[in-house]
Structures are given as structure tokens and as C-alpha cells.
Structure 1
């Protein structure tokens, strides 16, 4: 659990809101995102719908977000079934965990979007 969950939640929300949108210059919240083979095997329209749902996800509760960091979500997609997404915090070189996930200058977020069965 972080000492700054609301700061991290805001950064995670900002990061997710920018996936699949062209960015120019240095991003305010550095990170990468990827989709698993199960997602890439879906029709393009389904992939777009899933990415949009991840970007706009706001159904956080104490049950699915116990630390208040907005770093995980799950939802149903009509064509793909249960979808999970997860944000992990790495150091900027992506060689280990971030020393402080609340500090974008030392953190690179990695967002993974997957079918629940791939978890």
C-alpha cells in the first residue's frame, strides 16, 4: 500500500485516459501499455471497444480497489467475456519496481489489458 493512494489514483486515471491517443513531447505520466494475445485475436472493433472501456473505467469500489490506487479493473465485454486490466509500477529503466509510484520522475507505468482467462 502506498503512502499516497489518491496521488497515484489520479496519475493512473490520467495515464489510462491517454492510451491509444497520440501524444507529442514528453508525457506527464510516463508509461507503456500492451494487450495480450487473447485481445489481439479479437476483431478490431472489439479491441477498440475494450480499449475505450479501459480508458473510461470508473467503477472503482472498496472491493475491487482496496488501496484506492485505481490500478486494476474488470468488466464484461459482450463479444469477449470478462476483461481485466492492471497497472504495474516500474523504475524508468523497466528493470525493477519503482522506488516511489507516486513520483512520475522515477516511475514508468505498464498497463496490461487481457482476457480474464489469460490472468
Structure 2
């Protein structure tokens, strides 16, 4: 699952990327830098990645502090995926939010 999450996060391909209102309202250059930081994130450790799934992270770009989270949903985006390791059964949704929106 970690490899699938990493591949999606790095490429933004094969799932959906959602920006909260606070991230979407950032100037274009700041928003691009935030998304680049999410794509390049490698700060996983035992405290922040308890299950080794690489599904959550925290980035800071200048003064903008953000969290990102990957959820594995069923194909209809109504429930959790029945098998997050099977891309045929899963839509990955990456949400990027300002820390204060959490």
C-alpha cells in the first residue's frame, strides 16, 4: 500500500487531488510550491507513519503550514475501499489543507 500511495502522491495520477478552500485561495506560485512539497515529501518516520502506509504528511512552504492525507475509497467514492492494495477496487483521494483547516 505504501508504494501505491507514494506513486499517487508523487505523480497525482491515478486518483483525485482535493485542495481545501484555504489552499485553493493561495496565490498561484504558493499553491504550486505547496503541491511540489507534497509530491517531494519524504519525511516519514515511526511517529508520523505508524502503519507504514505513507498516507499523511506535513509540509511548510514559507509561512504556509499544510497537512496532506490520502484516503482509499471504493470506486463510487462512498465508502472505504474493500481492498486498498487493489487499484481496480480503489480510488485514492489526496487532500491538501492548511494546518488551521484541520
Question: TM-score, with normalisation over the residues of structure 1?
Answer: 0.82
Corresponding residue number in structure 1 for 2:100: 117
Cα distance in 2 between the residues matched to 1:42 and 1:93: 30
User: Structure 1: 5+ residue runs without aligned partners?
Assistant: 1-7, 20-26
Corresponding residue number in structure 1 for 2:19: 35
Selected match of 1:17 from 1, 6, 10: 10
Checking the alignment, whether the CA contact within 8 Å between 1:91 and 1:98 is kept in structure 2 is yes
Larger % of strand: which? 2
RMSD: 1.0
Larger % of helix: which? 2
The runs of at least 4 aligned residues of structure 1 exceeding 3 Å deviation read: none
Q: Who wins on radius of gyration, i.e. which is larger? A: 1
Question: TM-score, with normalisation over the residues of structure 2?
Answer: 0.95
Cα distance in 1 between the residues matched to 2:63 and 2:26: 9
- CA deviation map 1:66-94 (0-9, x unaligned): 000000000222132x2100000100111
- Equivalenced residue count is 102
Corresponding residue number in structure 2 for 1:104: 87
- CA deviation map 1:6-49 (0-9, x unaligned): xx110011001112xxxxxxx6xx31011111011111100000
User: Structure 2: 5+ residue runs without aligned partners?
Assistant: none
Cα distance in 2 between the residues matched to 1:83 and 1:112: 10
